[in-house]
C-alpha cells in the first residue's frame, strides 16, 4: 500500500459523527478478534458489512424490533446531518424504553439475508489452505449487530478481526453503542475513518509478519468504502458492489482523475464473481 493519494475521504450519504470532525488524537483501535493470527497468510481481504455481506442496512433493520415496526416522528426528527452515530444511540435507548429486549434485537439481526453469492464466497475462503487468506471486517455498524448475524450464519470464525463501533448491553438491558475511534481525516465521519483502520492494520501486521502481503482485497458497497480503497496499490483489487455508491465514486474518479485510483476495480452483482476473480489470482 503506497502513500494516500487523496488528502481527504469521501463522505458517506448519512455520515455519523460531527459535521466538522474535531482534529483530536486518535484513540487506540479496538477490535473484536478470534485468537492468534499466523504470519504465513499470502493475502489480506477486507469486508464491509451492511449491504456488502448482508443485503440490508442493520441500523434500518433494527427498527423492525420497535413497536409497530416504526419509530415515532419526534425521534426521527432528532437526526442531524453528520450526527448519525449519535442518532442511533438515541434509537437504541428508545428501543430499550419500549421494552425491546436483547433477544428481540438479536433475532431481528439474524433475519437479515446475505447478499447474492456471499455465503459461496465465505465457503470458498473457508475451504482454501490456511496460509491463503487473512479475513478482516471493517464496518460503521456495531459489533453486536455484526456478531449476531455472523454467529447465526456460522461465519464468525472466518474473520480474524472485526473493527466496528463497540456495542454491549448494560445492566438495564439497553444496547449501548460507542464511537469506534477519533481520527484526523477532515472528511470522514468523526467516529470512523476506514482508511485509518486499514492503513494501521496493514502496517502493524506487515511489521509483525516481517513481509508484506502478496495482494490486498477490499469488498464493499458504500461511499465510506472508497476511502480505504484509495490506499490500495496497483497489485491490489477493490471489489465494489455494482451500481452502489462505492462503484459510482470509483468510476467518477477514473473519469475525472485518471490514474489516481491505483487498485484494480472488479465490480460484482453476485459475490460468486468475487470467487471467480480470487480463484484466478491465488493460482498465479
Q: Which of 28, 40, 48, 172 is catalytic?
A: 48
Q: Which residue has the higher pLDDT, 37 or 144?
A: 144
Tell me the C-alpha to C-alpha distance, in Å, between residue 65 and each of 76, 86, 105, 128, 189: 16, 19, 6, 38, 26
Q: What is the mean pLDDT of residues 67-77?
A: 95
Q: Which residue has the cell 487506540?
A: 28
Mean pLDDT over 22-36 rounds to 44
Most confident of 10-24, 82-96, 99-113, 178-192: 99-113
β-partners of residue 230 are: none
pLDDT in tens, 218-229: 999 999 999 899
- The answer to whether 50 is annotated as binding is yes
Q: Distance (Å, rounded) from C-alpha 62 to C-alpha 106?
A: 9
Task: Look at residue 6 in the predicted model and tell me its pLDDT.
Answer: 38
- Binding site annotation covers 40? no
- Residue 186 banded pLDDT, cuts 50, 70, 90: low
* Predicted local confidence at residue 16, as pLDDT: 33
pLDDT tens digits, 40-56: 899 999 999 999 999 99
59 marked as part of a ligand binding site: yes
**What confidence category does residue 17 fall into, taking pLDDT thresholds of 50, 70 and 90?**
very low
Tell me whether strands 175-177 and 161-165 are parallel, antiparallel or unpaired.
Answer: unpaired
Measured CA to CA, the distance from residue 23 to residue 46 in angstroms comes to 26
Q: C-alpha cell of 279?
A: 480463484
Share of the chain above pLDDT 90, in %: 70
**Closest by CA position to 16, among listed 83, 81, 79, 91:** 83
Q: Where are the beta strands (DSSP E) in 85-131?
A: none
Asked if the model's pLDDT at residue 253 lies above 60, the reply is yes
Query: Is 140 marked within a binding site?
Result: yes
CB 231 within 8 A of CB 199: yes
- 225 marked ligand binding residue: no
Distance, in Å, from the CA atom of 126 to the CA atom of 122, rounded to the nearest integer, reads: 6
Domains and CATH numbers, the chain: 43-55+114-283 (3.40.50.1000)
Residues of the chain by 3-state class (helix, strand, coil), percent to 5:
40, 15, 45
Average pLDDT of the chain to the nearest whole number: 86
User: What value does the mean pLDDT take over residues 202-211?
Assistant: 93
Compute the distance between CA of residue 275 and CA of residue 284 in angstroms, rounded to an integer: 15
Asked if the model's pLDDT at residue 21 lies above 70, the reply is no
SS3 283: coil
- Annotated active-site residue 50? The verdict is yes
| pTM (global) more than 0.85 | yes
Residues 226 and 201: their CA atoms lie apart, in Å, by 17
Q: How confident is the model at residue 149 (pLDDT cuts 50, 70, 90)?
A: very high
CB 237 within 8 A of CB 217: yes
pLDDT at 250: 95
Given the residues 50, 132, 225, 236, the one annotated as active site: 50
Q: Is the pLDDT of residue 27 over 50?
A: no
Higher pLDDT residue, 38 or 15? 38
Tell me whether strands 161-165 and 32-33 are parallel, antiparallel or unpaired: antiparallel
Q: What is the DSSP letter of 240?
A: E
Give ∠ CA 256-260-261 in degrees, rounded to 5.
100
For residue 258, is pLDDT > 90?
no
Q: What is the DSSP letter of 222?
A: S
Position 84 confidence tier, pLDDT thresholds 50, 70, 90: confident
Q: Which residue has the cell 460507542?
A: 178
**Size of the chain, expressed as the number of residues it contains:** 284
Would residue 48 show up in a list of annotated catalytic residues for this protein? yes
Amino acid at each position: 500500500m503506497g502513500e494516500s493519494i487523496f488528502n481527504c475521504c469521501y463522505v458517506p450519504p448519512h455520515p455519523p459523527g460531527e459535521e466538522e470532525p474535531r482534529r483530536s488524537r486518535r484513540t487506540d483501535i479496538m477490535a473484536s478478534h478470534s485468537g492468534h493470527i499466523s504470519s504465513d497468510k499470502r493475502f489480506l481481504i477486507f469486508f464491509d458489512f451492511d449491504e456488502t455481506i448482508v443485503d440490508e442496512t442493520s441500523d434500518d433493520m433494527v427498527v423492525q424490533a420497535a413497536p409497530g415496526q416504526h419509530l415515532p416522528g419526534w425521534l426521527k426528527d432528532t437526526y442531524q446531518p453528520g450526527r448519525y452515530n449519535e442518532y442511533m444511540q438515541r434509537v437504541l435507548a428508545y428501543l430499550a424504553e419500549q421494552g425491546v429486549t436483547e433477544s428481540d434485537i438479536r433475532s431481528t439481526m439474524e433475519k437479515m439475508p446475505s447478499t447474492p453469492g456471499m455465503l459461496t464466497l465465505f465457503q470458498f475462503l473457508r475451504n482454501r489452505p490456511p496460509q491463503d487468506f487473512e479475513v478482516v471486517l471493517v464496518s460503521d455498524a456495531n459489533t453486536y449487530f455484526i456478531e449476531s448475524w455472523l454467529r447465526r450464519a456460522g461465519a464468525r470464525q472466518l474473520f480474524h478481526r472485526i473493527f466496528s463501533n463497540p456495542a454491549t448491553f448494560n445492566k438495564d438491558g439497553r444496547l449501548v453503542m460507542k464511537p469506534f475511534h477519533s481520527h484526523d481525516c477532515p472528511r470522514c465521519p468523526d467516529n470512523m475513518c476506514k482508511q485509518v483502520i486499514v492503513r494501521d492494520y496493514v502496517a502493524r501486521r506487515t511489521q509483525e509478519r516481517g513481509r508484506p502481503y502478496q495482494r490486498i482485497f477490499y469488498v464493499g458497497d458504500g461511499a465510506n468504502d472508497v476511502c480505504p480503497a484509495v490506499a490500495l496499490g496497483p497489485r491490489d483489487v477493490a471489489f465494489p458492489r455494482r451500481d452502489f455508491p462505492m462503484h459510482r465514486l470509483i468510476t467518477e474518479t477514473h473519469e475525472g482523475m485518471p490514474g489516481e485510483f491505483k487498485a484494480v476495480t472488479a465490480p460484482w452483482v453476485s459475490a460468486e464473481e468475487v470467487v471467480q476473480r480470487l480463484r484466478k489470482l491465488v493460482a498465479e
